[in-house]
């Protein structure tokens, strides 16, 4: 039986501010999962703390709402327990780039077999608008009322540099494109990350949605998202790492699409017990006697 | 004729001290003798001073003595540092080149010297100098009058993978050492006669026992970040885990270690993490999450001296308070401490069961002494039965529709749990307070219901666990109360004292499961003794508050916090005379 979008309904009403970018992810992710025909019980989604975490009970799948900055850890664990499941870790920019930056970088380095969806609105929302690791320098926030003093982190650049094997950017203003990116990321074997750029309508003083609409361009044209002016006409080679790093550094125009992709071994190739199938379905065998000999 | 001999091997780090010590233990074990191997080393790879002390006895031995009988010195420093520890008529075995020019002081102390020109002897026999340790071991076997067979077996065991040349040359070296010394001096006699019946024993550390216990308990996911003295659990499981279907993952830090293990456990596989106090500091936020999300996990904290980096390679038992209270909020947990590797093996399996049954974090406290000392223990028994509690791993076993992971319809506070992948079992494991589905809530009544449900488990836990073990005389005058690795020195001390007709009679109450604690039972157990002594390897006596809650006020405390464990001879002296230990 084909999976329907409604299978992902929990019936819990969202609590985000009207116009929040998080709604788009909440609506588009089930579309992507349904189109991939992935039933809710074959999926684990982990959530972080903050506005992202407030979405934890809005999509009906197995889920873990983790601690701040730690969304990726139970996701990695879920994959080890049962690598037949699709595991998605969602997280905000404050959590991923500051509180839990170590987990982001090492997960990329180790090519953990999870899909990370970064809710990137460049600010701490739930704690009322402080500077995050992604807030541009000079932007006035409640924690830096005279202007943010630090340079922002570039999640795409750092992900590629850290060893992520699928790095993409999507924009909530282009939901069809975002859905296709989600599908590719979820199907990718290895550490996939999608930097979802979105607006915060409450704490950001500028109209981010309009700004992004004017600034983004697609790396690849596709049927569902007709190119406007400024879209690339040439074919972009997302397997070229040097090109990907250069693309990640672009500032005047913001590229969306798959920026970098490579094939690399994942946990099932690395850990011999996982070759026999999902760990949770295995019955560990062997007598303890055999191991005692060395001490006798 | 000797019943107990203490042999100390001392020398610079990196000179194979541990390997010599282990070969000695193997040689004695093969003869049916009992041994205890205790190692001291600084936090260095090379350049520091290392020792490995082997206490060998005709009876079970669970501790070291402060005083030694034989010193095998591998550098001049070893003689100057340890000559004072020798008993009268003790002996120093050393190469001529490192013996001080003036030995009159040693003679005055009645210390004998076996100084050999090892280099020359080996060269003459065309044996590589690297095999000098076997020669020295041969000397020890000769003065203990034990023959060479068991040392040959130990050589085969040690050099199993090295080929016949290495084995044969080492045996030759050993026999040269033996022949050189055998019968040369009547003054030097450490003859010890092995017991007639040989018991099935093992020589093992608690770290290895934790690893074996995890395998016996059908654990499937272990993650850890290296930290002394817990690291050998990681090494043991990394080596033997894969063939047993265990994923062993070195985490990039302790937060990752526990976060990933929590995810794996929530995914339905038995998981465990290992660390020391500093690493457990980092793990505390996830211990708290395990509490609210009701996810089973076993956490081993092999304690070492603190605070902070403390004495990183030395003994202390100062994390009991932390184990009981780490992590914000209120939630059930179990804290336990094995007293030796045998208990570590059995209790690791018990912990895996308890974690699964009660869906809680279970913390096992070992420490440097038990984790890294080599005990002679009875052969480990068969694994205990696995109990995974209310875990549902088949879809047809899901009865409720819709499934409520945190169902309140449970008399013992434990709700059935499913694992991701099962149709009809979907739930959210949340760090937030949650509804029966796991959905976030800030409703005060739901909060009360869920918090009360979780705390209800305590009633069942306290009934299920046996906090105490009692050893010693039934009608003892004095009760010693302690926990963890002090068990070895305490058992050895009270055995000696109880055999002494002039001494008061001693009993020992070991608290194996430290939290939650049955105060009523503790009170009953302790009330019939005239005196109570608390023994702990820390500076404050972390059991004191518990004892007071049970109405027990210890008459005396033996506390040690200089980085060393209790030694038997010293503890005998302290408890016999009710002497308060240094530092108090």
Enter the tokens of residue B577. Answer: 């005379």
- In which band, very low, low, confident or very high, does the pLDDT at A233 lie, cut at 50, 70 and 90? low
Q: How far apart are CA B146 and CA B494, in angstroms?
A: 29
- In which band, very low, low, confident or very high, does the pLDDT at B400 lie, cut at 50, 70 and 90? confident
Mean pLDDT of all residues belonging to chain B: 95
Beta bridge partners of B223: B249, B273
Residue B141: other Cβ atoms inside 10 A: 27
pLDDT score of A221: 56
Contact A141, A131 (CB under 8 A): yes
- In which band, very low, low, confident or very high, does the pLDDT at A285 lie, cut at 50, 70 and 90? confident
* Sequence-separated (6 or more) residues with CB below 8 Å from residue B32: B194, B195, B197, B198, B199
Residue B578 clears pLDDT 90, i.e. is over it: no
Among B263, B392, B404, B427, pick the best mutation site for testing chain A contact (most A Cβ within 10 A): B263
Enter the tokens of residue B245. Answer: 């279907």
Contact B301, B365 (CB under 8 A): yes
Q: How far apart are CA B424 and CA A87, in angstroms?
A: 18
From chain B residues 244-303, the ones with a CB under 8 A of any chain A CB are 244-247, 249, 252-253, 255-256, 259-269, 271, 285-286, 289, 293
- In which band, very low, low, confident or very high, does the pLDDT at A234 lie, cut at 50, 70 and 90? low
Residue B39 clears pLDDT 90, i.e. is over it: yes
pLDDT score of B584: 36
- In which band, very low, low, confident or very high, does the pLDDT at B102 lie, cut at 50, 70 and 90? confident
Element of type H or E holding B9: strand B4-12
pLDDT tens digits along A107-146: 999 999 999 999 999 999 999 999 999 999 999 999 999 9
pLDDT tens digits along A81-90: 999 999 999 9
Give me the percent of chain A exceeding a pLDDT of 70.
95
Maximal CA-CA distance, chain B: 88
Closest residue in chain A to residue B285, using alpha carbons only? A67
The candidate with the shortest Cα–Cα distance to B470, out of B448, B491, B441, is B491
Residue A36 CA to chain centroid, in angstroms?
17
CB contact under 8 Å between B268 and A40, yes or no, is no
pLDDT tens digits along B431-484: 999 999 999 999 999 999 999 999 999 999 999 999 999 999 888 999 999 999
Residue B381 clears pLDDT 70, i.e. is over it: yes
Torsions phi, psi for A38 (to 5 deg): -95, 115
Residue B296 clears pLDDT 70, i.e. is over it: yes
- In which band, very low, low, confident or very high, does the pLDDT at B405 lie, cut at 50, 70 and 90? very high
Enter the tokens of residue A20. Answer: 């929040």
Place of tokens 């924690």: A143
pLDDT tens digits along B521-567: 999 999 999 999 999 999 999 999 999 999 999 999 999 999 999 99
Residue A38 exposed, middle or buried by CB count within 10 Å (0-12, 13-18, 19+): buried
Contact B305, B315 (CB under 8 A): yes
Mean pLDDT of B50-56: 97
Our CA-based measurement puts residue B123 at a distance from the nearest CA of chain A, in whole angstroms, of: 33
Give me the percent of chain B exceeding a pLDDT of 70.
99
Mean pLDDT of all residues belonging to chain A: 94
What is the end-to-end Cα distance of chain A in Å, rounded? 58
Q: How far apart are CA B218 and CA B338, in angstroms?
A: 20
CB contact under 8 Å between B247 and A70, yes or no, is no
pLDDT score of A229: 43
Residue A230 clears pLDDT 50, i.e. is over it: no
pLDDT score of B182: 86
If DSSP codes are grouped into helix, strand and coil, which group holds residue B194?
coil
Q: How far apart are CA B226 and CA B242, in angstroms?
A: 19
Residue A224 clears pLDDT 50, i.e. is over it: no
CB contact under 8 Å between A57 and B439, yes or no, is yes
pLDDT score of B401: 84
pLDDT tens digits along B59-77: 999 999 999 999 999 999 9
**Taking CB atoms and an 8 Å cutoff, what residues of chain B touch A272?**
242
On whether any CB of chain A is under 8 Å from the CB of B392, the answer is: no
From chain B residues 404-463, the ones with a CB under 8 A of any chain A CB are 419-432, 437-440
- Give how far Cα A41 sits from Cα of A84, A117, B212, Å: 11, 19, 34
- In which band, very low, low, confident or very high, does the pLDDT at B105 lie, cut at 50, 70 and 90? confident
- In which band, very low, low, confident or very high, does the pLDDT at B124 lie, cut at 50, 70 and 90? very high
CB contact under 8 Å between B419 and A82, yes or no, is yes
Contact B75, B86 (CB under 8 A): no
Q: How far apart are CA B230 and CA B228, in angstroms?
A: 5
pLDDT score of B319: 98
What is the end-to-end Cα distance of chain B in Å, rounded? 39
Closest residue in chain A to residue B258, using alpha carbons only? A73
Q: How far apart are CA A235 and CA B512, in angstroms?
A: 68
pLDDT score of B580: 46
Residue B574: other Cβ atoms inside 10 A: 20
Residue B503 CA to chain centroid, in angstroms?
30
Give me the percent of chain B exceeding a pLDDT of 90.
90
- In which band, very low, low, confident or very high, does the pLDDT at B184 lie, cut at 50, 70 and 90? confident
- Edge-to-edge strand order for the sheet containing A62-65? A216-218, A254-261, A166-171, A192-197, A115-120, A86-92, A43-47, A62-65, B428-430
Contact B373, B198 (CB under 8 A): no
Residue B576 exposed, middle or buried by CB count within 10 Å (0-12, 13-18, 19+): middle
pLDDT score of B185: 78
* Sequence-separated (6 or more) residues with CB below 8 Å from residue B376: B25, B29, B34, B35, B36, B60, B61, B201, B202, B203
Q: How far apart are CA A254 and CA A251, in angstroms?
A: 6
Q: How far apart are CA B209 and CA B377, in angstroms?
A: 11
pLDDT tens digits along B314-361: 999 999 999 999 999 999 999 999 999 999 999 999 999 999 999 999
From chain B residues 226-255, the ones with a CB under 8 A of any chain A CB are 240-247, 249, 252-253, 255
- Of A41, A54, A286, nearest to B426 by CB-CB distance is A41
If DSSP codes are grouped into helix, strand and coil, which group holds residue A265?
coil
Residue B40 clears pLDDT 80, i.e. is over it: yes
Enter the tokens of residue A110. Answer: 């180790």
Helices (H), chain A: 22-35, 72-81, 93-94, 101-109, 155-162, 175-187, 208-215, 241-248, 267-270, 289-292
């Amino acid at each position: 039986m084909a999976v329907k979008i409604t299978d992902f309904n929990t019936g819990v009403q969202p609590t985000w501010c009207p116009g929040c970018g998080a709604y788009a992810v909440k609506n588009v992710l089930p579309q992507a999962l349904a189109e991939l025909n992935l039933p809710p019980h074959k999926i684990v989604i982990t959530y972080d703390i903050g506005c992202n975490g407030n979405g934890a009970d809005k999509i009906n799948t197995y889920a873990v709402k983790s601690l701040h900055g730690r969304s990726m850890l139970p996701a990695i664990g879920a994959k080890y327990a049962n690598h037949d499941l699709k595991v998605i870790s969602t997280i905000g920019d404050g959590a991923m780039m500051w509180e839990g930056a170590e987990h982001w970088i090492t997960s990329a380095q180790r090519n953990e077999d999870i899909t990370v969806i970064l809710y990137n609105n460049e600010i701490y929302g739930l704690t009322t608008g402080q500077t995050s690791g992604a807030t541009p320098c000079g932007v006035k926030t409640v924690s830096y009322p005279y202007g943010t003093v630090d340079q922002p982190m570039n999640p795409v650049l750092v992900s590629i540099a850290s060893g992520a094997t699928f790095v993409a950017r999507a924009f909530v203003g282009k939901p069809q494109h975002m859905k296709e990116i989600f599908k590719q990321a979820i199907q990718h074997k290895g550490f996939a990350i999608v930097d979802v750029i979105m607006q915060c309508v409450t704490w950001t003083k500028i109209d981010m949605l309009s700004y992004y609409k004017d600034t983004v361009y697609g790396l690849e044209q596709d049927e569902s998202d007709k190119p406007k002016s400024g879209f690339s006409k040439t074919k972009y080679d997302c397997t070229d790492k040097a090109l990907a790093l250069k693309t990640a550094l672009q500032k005047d125009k913001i590229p969306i699409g798959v920026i970098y992709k490579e094939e690399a071994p994942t946990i099932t190739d690395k850990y011999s017990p996982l070759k026999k199938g999902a760990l949770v379905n295995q019955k560990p065998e062997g007598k303890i006697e055999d191991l005692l000999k060395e001490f006798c | 004729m000797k019943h107990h001999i203490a042999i100390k091997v001392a020398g610079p780090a990196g000179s194979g001290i541990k390997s010599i010590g282990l070969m000695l233990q193997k040689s004695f074990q093969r003869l049916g003798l009992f041994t205890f191997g205790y190692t001291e080393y600084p936090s260095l790879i090379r350049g520091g001073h290392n020792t490995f002390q082997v206490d060998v006895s005709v009876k079970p031995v669970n501790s070291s003595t402060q005083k030694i009988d034989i010193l095998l010195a591998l550098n001049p420093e070893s003689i100057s540092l340890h000559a004072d520890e020798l008993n009268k008529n003790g002996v120093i075995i050393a190469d001529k080149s490192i013996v001080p020019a003036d030995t009159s002081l040693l003679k005055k102390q009645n210390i004998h010297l076996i100084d050999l020109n090892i280099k020359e002897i080996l060269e003459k026999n065309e044996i590589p100098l690297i095999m000098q340790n076997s020669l020295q071991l041969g000397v020890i076997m000769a003065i203990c009058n034990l023959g060479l067979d068991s040392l040959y077996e130990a050589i085969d065991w040690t050099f199993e993978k090295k080929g016949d040349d290495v084995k044969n040359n080492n045996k030759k070296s050993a026999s040269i050492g033996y022949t050189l010394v055998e019968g040369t001096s009547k003054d030097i006699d450490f003859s010890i006669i092995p017991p007639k019946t040989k018991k099935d024993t093992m020589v093992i550390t608690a770290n290895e026992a934790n690893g074996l216990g995890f395998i016996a308990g059908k654990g499937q996911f272990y993650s850890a970040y290296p930290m002394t003295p817990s690291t050998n659990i990681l090494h043991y499981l990394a080596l033997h885990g894969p063939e047993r279907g265990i994923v062993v993952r070195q985490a990039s830090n302790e937060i990752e270690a526990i976060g990933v293990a929590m995810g794996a456990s929530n995914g339905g596989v038995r998981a465990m993490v290992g660390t020391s106090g500093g690493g457990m500091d980092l793990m505390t936020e996830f211990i708290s999450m395990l509490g609210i999300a009701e996810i089973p996990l076993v956490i081993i904290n092999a304690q070492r001296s603190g605070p902070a980096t403390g004495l990183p390679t030395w003994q202390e038992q100062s994390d009991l308070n932390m184990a009981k209270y780490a992590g914000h909020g209120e939630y059930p947990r179990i804290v336990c401490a094995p007293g030796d590797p045998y208990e570590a093996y059995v209790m690791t399996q018990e912990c895996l069961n308890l974690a699964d049954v009660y869906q809680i974090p279970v913390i096992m406290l070992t420490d440097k002494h038990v984790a890294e000392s080599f005990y002679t223990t009875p052969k480990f028994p068969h694994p205990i039965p696995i109990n995974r509690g209310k875990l549902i791993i088949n879809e047809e076993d899901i009865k409720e529709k819709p499934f409520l992971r945190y169902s309140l319809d449970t008399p013992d506070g434990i709700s059935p749990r499913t694992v991701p992948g099962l149709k009809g079992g979907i739930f959210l494991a949340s760090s937030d307070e949650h509804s029966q589905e796991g959905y976030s809530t800030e409703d005060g009544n739901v909060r009360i219901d869920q918090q009360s449900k979780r705390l209800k488990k305590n009633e069942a836990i306290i009934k299920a666990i046996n906090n105490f073990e009692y050893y010693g005389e039934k009608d003892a005058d004095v009760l010693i109360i302690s926990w963890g690795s002090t068990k070895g020195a305490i058992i050895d001390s009270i055995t000696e004292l109880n055999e002494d007709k002039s001494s008061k009679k001693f009993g020992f109450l070991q608290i194996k499961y430290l939290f939650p604690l049955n105060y009523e039972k503790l009170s009953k157990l302790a009330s019939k003794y005239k005196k109570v002594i608390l023994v702990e390897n820390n500076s404050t006596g972390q059991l004191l508050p518990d004892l007071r809650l049970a109405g027990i006020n210890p008459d005396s405390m033996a506390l040690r916090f200089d980085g060393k464990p209790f030694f038997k001879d010293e503890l005998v002296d302290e408890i016999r005379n009710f002497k308060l230990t240094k530092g108090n």
